[in-house]
Amino acid sequence: MNGPDVSIIIVSWNTREILSNCLRSVYENAGAVRFHVMVIDNASTDGSAEMVREAFGGVQLLVNTQNRGFAAANNQGMAVAPGRYVLLLNSDTIVLDGAIEKAVAFADAHPEAAVVGCRVLNSDRTLQRTCFRFPSLLNMLLSSTYLYKLWPRSKLLGREQMTWWNRDDVREVDVVTGCFMLVRRAALLEVGLMDEAFFMYGEETDWCYRFRQAGWKILFAPCGEIIHLGGASAARAANEMTLQLKAGILQFMHKHGSRLTYVAACGLMGLFLAARIPYWLLRTVLARGQRRLAWSRVRVYALGVRRVFGGWKGLRAGLRVC
C-alpha cells in the first residue's frame, strides 16, 4: 500500500508555541510508521498558521476564517485524510517514544477495534485518567458529589472516570478521550464523521457510542504514552468552556436518551451548578485575594443554571426542560 498508515489531524486555536512542540514531537517520536500530518487552524490570531507554514513545510495546513469547533474542524481533516487510520491528536500534547507506531501496530492486531487510545500523562509524568464511561443519571449523580476524590479506589464512586484503574492493561472501554484517538478508516466509513452539533466536548463520547452501537469495540491499550497539558485552548475562555463541558453531557443525554431521562439530567445538572454558588459567594467575602476569581465562578454557575432551565446555548434549537 502506497499511502500513509495514519493521518494525524491536529486542531488548533491560538496555541502557537505548544502546537510547535506537539508537531516537533510527532516528527521525532512517531516511530517507523508512515504518517501524514494535517493542522486545522480554527481562526487563530496568534500566528499559529504562519508558524506552521514557516517551520513545518511538510504539514498540510487548512485555515478556517472562523472557529468551527472541535468536531467540525476534525471532520474537515478526516474528509480528505489518506491514511488507513486517522489519529485525532490535541495540539497540547507531546508524543513520547514510538507511541503512534505502537498504537497503529496494536490496532492492526485488533481488527475489532474502531478506536484505540493510549496511556496519557500529565506534564509531571503522573497518570492522567483518560477513558471514561458514557453519561448516565447514576454517573452524573455520583460525579457531582466529588466523593470519588476521597475514595478513588471505589468502583462505585469512581465509575464515571474509572478512578480505580491505573490504565496499565488492555481494556474495552466506553469512551476514549479525544486528546489521542486512533480511529480505523473502515469503521469511520461505516459510522460516519463526528456530529458537528457538538461544538466542543461530548463529540468523542457521541462518536464512541455510535461505534459501539454499530458493533465495533473501543479499546484502551498501554502500548504507548503521550503527555497531555490539558485545556490549552479552553483556558483562554475557561468559564465558557466549563459550561460547554456541561452542555455536551446534556446534549448527549438528549440525543441518546428518553425525554424523561433528559429532563432528569437537566434537573441534576441544575442542582449541581446551583449548589456551588453559595460556596463561591462565601469565597468573595473570605478570600480577599481571590475575589475576582470567586465572582467569576459565581457568575458562570448562575449562568449555567439559567441555561439549563431556559434552553442551553450551543444545543440544537428546542432543547428545553420547561
**Do both 108 and 194 map to the same domain?**
yes
Of 28-42, 48-62, 308-322, the least confident = 308-322
Last residue of a domain, one of 228, 248, 274: 228
Whether 119 and 262 share a structural domain? no
Judge whether residue 316 has pLDDT over 50: no
Q: Tell me, yes or no, whether 303 and 182 share the same domain.
A: no
Q: Does residue 162 form part of some domain?
A: no
Q: How many CB atoms lie within 10 A of CB 254?
A: 20
Please state, in angstroms and rounded to a whole number, the distance separating the CA atoms of residues 187 and 216.
8
* Nearest-angstrom CA–CA distance, 260 and 240: 27
Residue 39 lies in a domain: yes
Q: pLDDT at residue 35 above 50? A: yes
Q: DSSP string of 4-28? A: -SEEEEEEESS-HHHHHHHHHHHHH
DSSP state of 277: H
Number of independent structural domains in the chain: 2
Q: What's the pLDDT band for 26 if we cut at 50, 70, 90?
A: very high
Pairwise pLDDT comparison (231 vs 293), residue with the higher score: 293
Q: DSSP assignment, residue 67?
A: -
pLDDT of residue 87: 98
Which range among 205-214, 240-249, 256-265, 269-278 has the greatest average pLDDT?
Answer: 205-214
Tell me the percentage of the chain whose pLDDT exceeds 70.
93
Rounded to two decimals, the pTM is 0.89
Write down the pLDDT at residue 237.
58
Residue 27: pLDDT band (50, 70, 90) is very high
Q: Flag the least confident range among 29-33, 63-67, 118-122, 305-309.
A: 305-309
Q: Is 215 within a domain?
A: yes
Cβ atoms of 220 and 175 closer than 8 Å: no
d(CA 23, CA 26): 5
- 84/179 same-domain check: yes
In this structure, is residue 145 part of a structural domain? no
CA atoms of 311 and 314, how far apart (whole Å): 9
The answer on 268 and 213 residing in a single domain is no
User: Is-contact 191 87, C-beta < 8 A?
Assistant: no
One domain, residues 115 and 251: no
The answer on 242 and 113 residing in a single domain is no
pLDDT for residue 320? 36
Dump strand ranges (E) for 200-251: 217-228
Distance between CA atoms of residues 211 and 194, nearest Å: 11
Q: Do 306 and 181 share a structural domain?
A: no
Q: Are residues 31 and 93 in the same domain?
A: yes
Whether pLDDT at 144 is above 90: no
- Does residue 285 carry a pLDDT above 80? yes
Mean pLDDT of the chain: 90
83-105 mean pLDDT: 96
Average pLDDT over residues 71-90: 96
Pairing assessment for the beta strands 171-172 and 217-228 based on DSSP bridges: antiparallel
**Per residue in 58-69, is it b (16+ CB within 10 Å) or e — as a string?**
ebbbbebeebbb
Of 90, 175, 194, nearest in space to 130 by CA:
175
Of the ranges 69-83, 234-248, 293-307, the best mean pLDDT one: 69-83
Please report, for the domain that includes residue 30, its CATH number. 3.90.550.10
Same domain (yes/no): 200, 299: no
- Whether 157 maps to a domain, the answer reads no
Per-residue pLDDT at 315 exceeds 60? no
- 3-class secondary-structure state, position 94: strand
pLDDT at position 159 over 60: yes
Question: What SS3 state is found at 308?
Answer: helix
Residues 290 and 179 in one domain: no
Band the pLDDT of 322: cuts 50, 70, 90: very low
pLDDT for 13 equals 92
For the stretch 186-238, pLDDT in tens is 999 999 999 998 876 789 999 999 999 999 999 999 999 999 997 554 444 56
- The helix (H) or strand (E) run that includes residue 86 is strand 85-89
The confidence score (pLDDT) of residue 235 equals 45
**Residue-level pLDDT at 317:** 36
What was the pLDDT predicted at 286? 87
Specify burial of residue 101 (Cβ count, 10 A radius: 0-12, 13-18, 19+).
Answer: buried
What was the pLDDT predicted at 314? 42
216 and 250 share a domain?
no
Sorting pLDDT into bands at 50, 70 and 90, what band is 267?
very high
Domain interval for residue 242 = 234-310
**Domain boundary pick from 190, 212, 228:** 228
Q: How confident is the model at residue 85 (pLDDT cuts 50, 70, 90)?
A: very high
> Is pLDDT of 113 > 80?
yes
